[in-house]
A and B are shown apart, each in its own frame.
Chain A
Amino acid sequence: MGRARDLLVSGALLLAGRRRRRSEREPTVPPGASNPRAELAAVLLLLAGGLCAVAFVAVYALDRIPDQTQYLGLSLGLSFLFIAAALIVTGTRLVSTEEVEDDYPVEEHVTEQETIAQVVADSGNRLTRRRLFRRALLAAGGALGVALLTPIASLGPVLDVDPFYGTPWKRGRRLVDETGRPWRASDIEERDFYTAFPEGADKEELGAAVVLVRLPKNDLRLPAENAGYAADGIVAFSKICTHAGCAISLYRSPLFAPNDPGPPALVCPCHYSTFDPATGGTVLFGPAGRKLPMLPLRIDGRGELRAAGNFDGPVGPSWWGVRLRGAHA
């Protein structure tokens, strides 16, 4: 048992070994009563920890058993926890836990401080034009710093914000679904919600996706600048929320929202910006600071939906220049 205790005591230093002989000098660690039961407990806990580690390897070696992740976590976690328990038994029962006193470090070293300041001050005493020298150092250091940071500009077009106004929409472009099939006006029903893309465009571009909803024509109250944007009661808006850029994927129609009755509304699930499709995408509630860009629609001779132009404003979250210009193709 004594061997085991010594093992534990010195084990933390990963130097498992018995102290061959006790020092004849005064012991540096206060002696205490031995505790054979705690020693036994620690040894058993260590063995349990080792056993669990073996179990982990065994579970790993098994091929695709059900709940393998759970068994792996259980065995590895318990292995660590048993060893933790052994260490805590050691720390509280088998080694000295006596609290001792010591002095806090001195608050400050006044003479050394003075010496350092003196050395720094004196080391420049051969310089006759210190101020000039310091300014030259600063100028060179600053210029070199700027030079070293310059390659960061290669990361992206830092000055070109024109792409932020761009969308793939233009007059005549067909609206298609995710698989590329054109949307027909007759597909779009009231109280439902459809996603459309410009035919042949990259769907991941922020300016690409639009939501389509159909409202009773009498409910439409489009402002003057959006007059003629609707086609047979169908309206289209950018699917990207003007607040923080999430996709607007909720259509609140009275049917779905017992807690928030109100007119049909397009809602972004990230921060619940709520837009009114009947009034051209104005903000009803939530943090969005700008209306949802609206896409003018027309129905062609075959009954398919086409864009009648670009959005009435830039798409996506706002930046400093979002109100300076309109969207462009």
Chain B
Amino acid sequence: MIRGLVRFLDQRSGTAPLVRKTLRYLFPDHWSFLLGEVALYAFIVLVATGTYLALFYQDSTVQVVYHGPYVPLQGQQMSEAYRSVMDISTTVKAGLLIRQTHHWAADVFIAAITLHLLRIFFTGAYRKPRELTYWIGVTILTVALLEGYLGYSLVDDLLSGMGLAIGYGVALSIPFVGANLASLIWDGPFPGQHAFFARMYIAHVFLIPALIAVLLTLHLTLVALRHHTQFRSRRATERKIVGVPLYPGQTPRSLGLFFAVTGVLFLLGGLAQINPIWLWGPYHTYTSTNGAQPDWYLGWLIGGLRLMPGWDFVIGKYTVVPNPFWGGALFPLAVFAFLYLWPWLERRATGDTRYHNLLERPRDAPVRTAIGLGVLTFIFLIFVAGSADRIDVLFGISYTAQIWVYRVMVWVAPVVVGLVAHRVCVELQRGELVERDRERAEEEAAVAAAGSR
């Protein structure tokens, strides 16, 4: 039967040689190589659950009165969009499971991409000939952040509205064109016209997912064309790749990981509540609440917006740089500029234009590790600063005092961390040299002892 099918397909597509090669495609084995796969599987879950949600969601801001089963909101004015998500969460059978799984999958998707990026960065996997793969990967991350933001904005509960208000503030703050751009996107000043929700919706369910799918395809194609990187071993060298073939070795493992990721996401979606939209209530421009935190992957931007001291850059009567630009636009732009430019910067600094199939351990490249950890510390501290209000509430530590500490720390700590990391890498390298010398000496001693006997 298999023979028959293979013959049938080959006679009609001529792909037997390609398939044969594909079956023997090698996957070097290391746990950290699975992070990108986790992201891919989360994306599949996102598309599947998202499609289901789209069958019920209404992208309408027409105001209606809620008469659904959730008593505290009965009789309240809300948009049709919010009511439809309330219905998904209450009256649609399995709707809440799918919605929560979708939300969890989004959080896991971006977490997996971020961890994958850290792995790629700290092992130097982005080096020639894999810069294109890396740049496409970084682009997927930027697009995924926007996609996640649009996703929770569509719900049109209080959290959505506050997030959109901030997004509007940041868009408005873009020098010279902010008001014009915002006017174009929202069709006038905030909260905009009805068409705005239609725009977010088509972007969230079609434009951006399609873009991510195209970028993913390119990313994976490039990975396959250049083959995977690997850590050095006795057999694995710059010219020889050592790994488990796609079939039969890798296939059950990857499928198993896919099923595991999906299973965990459904468990989370069923058992771990996420974004209880009924507690937020509908959004109005004149309402807000404290304790509203965005999804984790936007926390660094909240931190950036909060840490910035209160000044607009003004020349004459022109407000050249309104404040939200610094923390909400310039900060992420700088981080992504760093990520995009890094392979080129490193090549400029080291003059290394060789091909690399072998990965470096963080200690093998102390400068890269130091700079990477420094930048990471900077972003992480700003991320943590975004939760200073919660620390104030929970532990009674003054918010303003915390903010002043962070304003200093975000500049000092990265330098300290970088210097320490560099030192640790160098010491680890030295330690290995000593260890190697000792082993060699012991071997020689053993040989000498055997000879003298």
| Residues of A in contact with B (beta carbons under 8 Å apart) | 8-10, 12-13, 15, 17, 19, 29, 60, 68-74, 76-81, 83-88, 90-92, 94-105, 107, 152-153, 155-161, 163-164, 166, 195, 197, 203-206, 208-209, 239-240, 243-250, 258-260, 268-273, 283, 285-290, 316-324
Chain A hits for B184, CB < 8 A: 152-153, 155-156, 158
Given known contacts A205-B285, A246-B166, is B96 in contact with A99 (CB within 8 Å)?
Answer: no
User: In the bound complex, what is the Cα–Cα distance between A11 and B181 (angstroms)?
Assistant: 53
Given known contacts A87-B255, A104-B357, A239-B286, is B323 in contact with A73 (CB within 8 Å)?
Answer: no
Chain B hits for A318, CB < 8 A: 172-173, 312, 319, 322-324
Q: Tell me if B310 counts as interface (CB < 8 A to partner A).
A: yes
Partner of A155, one of B185, B255, B258: B185
Chain A hits for B292, CB < 8 A: 269-270
What is the minimal beta-carbon distance from B229 to any residue of chain A, in angstroms? 10
Chain B hits for A271, CB < 8 A: 166, 302, 305-306
Chain A hits for B193, CB < 8 A: 156
User: In the bound complex, what is the Cα–Cα distance between A85 and B248 (angstroms)?
Assistant: 17
Partner of A244, one of B1, B165, B266, B399: B165
Given known contacts A158-B183, A319-B179, is B248 in contact with A245 (CB within 8 Å)?
Answer: no
A203 contacts B168, C-beta separation under 8 Å: no
Chain B positions 393 through 409: 1 when the CB is less than 8 Å from some CB of chain A, otherwise 0 = 00011111001000000
User: In the bound complex, what is the Cα–Cα distance between A289 and B264 (angstroms)?
Assistant: 45
Most buried by B among A102, A195, A260: A102
A259 contacts B396, C-beta separation under 8 Å: yes
Chain B positions 296 through 329: 1 when the CB is less than 8 Å from some CB of chain A, otherwise 0 = 0000001001111111101001111011100110
A164 contacts B179, C-beta separation under 8 Å: yes
Q: Tell me if B194 counts as interface (CB < 8 A to partner A).
A: no
Given known contacts A260-B400, A317-B324, is B1 in contact with A15 (CB within 8 Å)?
Answer: yes
B179 contacts A161, C-beta separation under 8 Å: yes
Given known contacts A81-B263, A289-B322, is B399 in contact with A69 (CB within 8 Å)?
Answer: no
A77 contacts B305, C-beta separation under 8 Å: no
| Residues of B in contact with A (beta carbons under 8 Å apart) | 1-2, 5, 24, 26, 29, 93-94, 96-97, 100-101, 129, 162, 165-166, 168-170, 172-173, 175-191, 193, 195, 199, 225-227, 235, 238-245, 247-253, 255-260, 262-271, 284-292, 302, 305-312, 314, 317-320, 322-324, 327-328, 355, 357, 389, 392, 396-400, 403
Chain B hits for A250, CB < 8 A: 290
What is the minimal beta-carbon distance from B248 to any residue of chain A, in angstroms? 4
User: In the bound complex, what is the Cα–Cα distance between A87 and B175 (angstroms)?
Assistant: 54
A273 contacts B241, C-beta separation under 8 Å: no
Given known contacts A69-B96, A260-B399, A269-B288, is B26 in contact with A102 (CB within 8 Å)?
Answer: yes
Chain A hits for B182, CB < 8 A: 319
A243 contacts B2, C-beta separation under 8 Å: no
A283 contacts B310, C-beta separation under 8 Å: yes
Most buried by A among B169, B191, B355, B400: B169
Chain A hits for B285, CB < 8 A: 203-206, 208-209, 240, 247
Chain B hits for A322, CB < 8 A: 319, 322
User: In the bound complex, what is the Cα–Cα distance between A168 and B234 (angstroms)?
Assistant: 76
Given known contacts A271-B306, A318-B173, is B2 in contact with A95 (CB within 8 Å)?
Answer: no
A244 contacts B252, C-beta separation under 8 Å: no
A195 contacts B286, C-beta separation under 8 Å: yes
User: In the bound complex, what is the Cα–Cα distance between A158 and B186 (angstroms)?
Assistant: 10
A316 contacts B189, C-beta separation under 8 Å: yes
